[in-house]
Structure 1
């Protein structure tokens, strides 16, 4: 199997203390992690501007899979013989920014045994959660990383994390906080089937990481201008490396 690009849609919905709903398109990749460089699975005509780099994710070696295996071992998971499938963006023209990268760990006989959710904020910090979803791909986990300046550190996430299929994926993450309405994020993708979808994917692909970074910052400025309160950022966070 090789890295597969999907035309993805990301949506964020906030209802309190003000209503804010924004959606953007991007290019996301489903990538089986093996001992070989996943960038070798990128079509030749995309390689000049798209690349996968282990350094853009958790770990310190040059092997993306080895880094995930080492992290899993530190958290009580033995991935020997297991399959690992990543859902992420890619580095485009040297820049990478993945707010969320998901890794499905499958046993040798096929079922999903765990999902690793790697979260990164705009301050360069990251945190990874080891999640054990139920048979429907659902799970809950406490919030451990300051992600947005408009959300404090309280609360917990419920996640719907069905394994990506050959035709697409559909991810939902909901932040629940005491006394407040949920903050909902969805991330869905499909393989292009029409010429218009292929053109849209091709237009997003060369600068997808830059566009994600820009959109997040623009939306932050917009919310700040609407006087959405800024929540204090913790003084430190133990970043995974």
Structure 2
């Protein structure tokens, strides 16, 4: 008899998500790939209270989440940094609830997060604002802050846009816009990011994972399934770059990063 599937935790509770990431290039040379992945979702108001076997918060363990990997990158508390960004842009009043950080932890001290998400809720639990913290392989990062113009709650089918300002892949020029969709209400947490340029979808990306409670069982499952996940992210990025180079996809030199940290 098969073992029962673990119950999905509350959407604002600490969780581990197991799923997949998909990229599909739609211009010049078609290229599609799907890889298994995993990530954690952490409520920032309770970050210091999270305890799970194999996971350390600001301390070394098999898996670890370090405040110096996010925000100001100096080890200072994350929630005040984010609250400051929201206040500067007049968003603090509608983001008076929990903030969930969705990210990949360090594995044996090594980390690379192509993108981490900060989901900002109101006091009733409705999603209002999302900050996408994007990193490239050159050691640079940029934040895209997205929300509805009228600050209405973000629904799963809603599409939010941001002009592309940060160089990520040398196989795309620095132009166009990102279109985001978020579904974080159920046991499956899904993010869609599409790149559009000149009225055409250039790239489709989907990150999805099914949540289970963040505990020793979940972290042990991660260790058995994906012991080298973060190293694998770097390896797969370079492998896909080689594939695109072999297809003679146009190469674009890296421009200077944007002056503003958050747009």
| C-alpha contact (below 8 Å) 1:126/1:239 kept by paired residues | no
Partners of 1:151 and 1:53 lie apart in 2 by: 31
| C-alpha contact (below 8 Å) 1:173/1:186 kept by paired residues | yes
Partners of 1:65 and 1:131 lie apart in 2 by: 18
- Out of 6, 10, 13, the position equivalent to 2:17 is 6
| C-alpha contact (below 8 Å) 2:194/2:201 kept by paired residues | no
| C-alpha contact (below 8 Å) 2:165/2:258 kept by paired residues | no
Partners of 2:88 and 2:106 lie apart in 1 by: 27
- Out of 26, 32, 38, the position equivalent to 1:15 is 26
Partners of 1:95 and 1:34 lie apart in 2 by: 25
Provide the residue aligned with 1:142 in structure 2. 163
Q: What's the CA shift for 1:13?
A: 0.2
Partners of 2:142 and 2:194 lie apart in 1 by: 17
Provide the residue aligned with 2:192 in structure 1. 172
Provide the residue aligned with 2:88 in structure 1. 74
Q: What's the CA shift for 1:19?
A: 1.0
TM-score (norm 2): 0.79
TM-score (norm 1): 0.86
Q: How many residues align?
A: 235
Partners of 1:239 and 1:124 lie apart in 2 by: 16
Provide the residue aligned with 2:237 in structure 1. 216
Q: What's the CA shift for 1:162?
A: 1.9
Cα pair distance change 1:204/1:210, threshold 3 Å: farther
Q: What's the CA shift for 1:14?
A: 0.7
SS at match of 2:195: strand
| C-alpha contact (below 8 Å) 1:88/1:98 kept by paired residues | yes
Matched, 1:230 2:230: no
Partners of 1:10 and 1:176 lie apart in 2 by: 19
| C-alpha contact (below 8 Å) 1:26/1:204 kept by paired residues | no
Partners of 2:14 and 2:261 lie apart in 1 by: 25
Cα pair distance change 1:164/1:63, threshold 3 Å: farther
Provide the residue aligned with 1:118 in structure 2. 133
- Out of 117, 125, 142, the position equivalent to 1:127 is 142
Cα pair distance change 1:5/1:36, threshold 3 Å: closer
SS at match of 1:182: strand
Question: What 5-or-longer segments of structure 2 have no aligned partner?
Answer: 1-11, 149-153, 213-217
Q: What's the CA shift for 1:213?
A: 1.6
Kindly report the root-mean-square deviation, in angstroms, between the aligned alpha carbons of the 2 structures.
2.6
Question: What 5-or-longer segments of structure 1 have no aligned partner?
Answer: none
Q: What's the CA shift for 1:204?
A: 4.1
Partners of 2:71 and 2:165 lie apart in 1 by: 16
Cα pair distance change 1:82/1:146, threshold 3 Å: same
| C-alpha contact (below 8 Å) 1:3/1:42 kept by paired residues | no
